[in-house]
Amino acid sequence: MFYLRQPEDTIKGQMYYDLGFDDWVVEIGQTEGYQIADRRMEIWADYKEAKRKLTKSMEKIDRIYRKSTDRIPKIRA
């Protein structure tokens, strides 16, 4: 998974850095095609580690989501 970040992307683009996907964010205006291909090959070469990293980041997202949504019943009460 890569996020192709464009210069006009705002805070939504920053979110991927905040979630730990730094290595998988491609800044369009600052990246050449060969750099994207090289990074893709690194991920392919250690796919098990890439899946571990993705799982870890998705768990972080789940914790953030749960923390945020756990408040809803309290607000509605």
Dist CA 45 CA 43 (whole Å):
5
Which residue has better confidence, 76 or 23? 23
> What is the tens place of the pLDDT at every residue in 7-65?
888 787 788 888 888 888 988 889 999 999 999 999 999 999 999 999 999 999 999 99
Dist CA 13 CA 47 (whole Å):
24
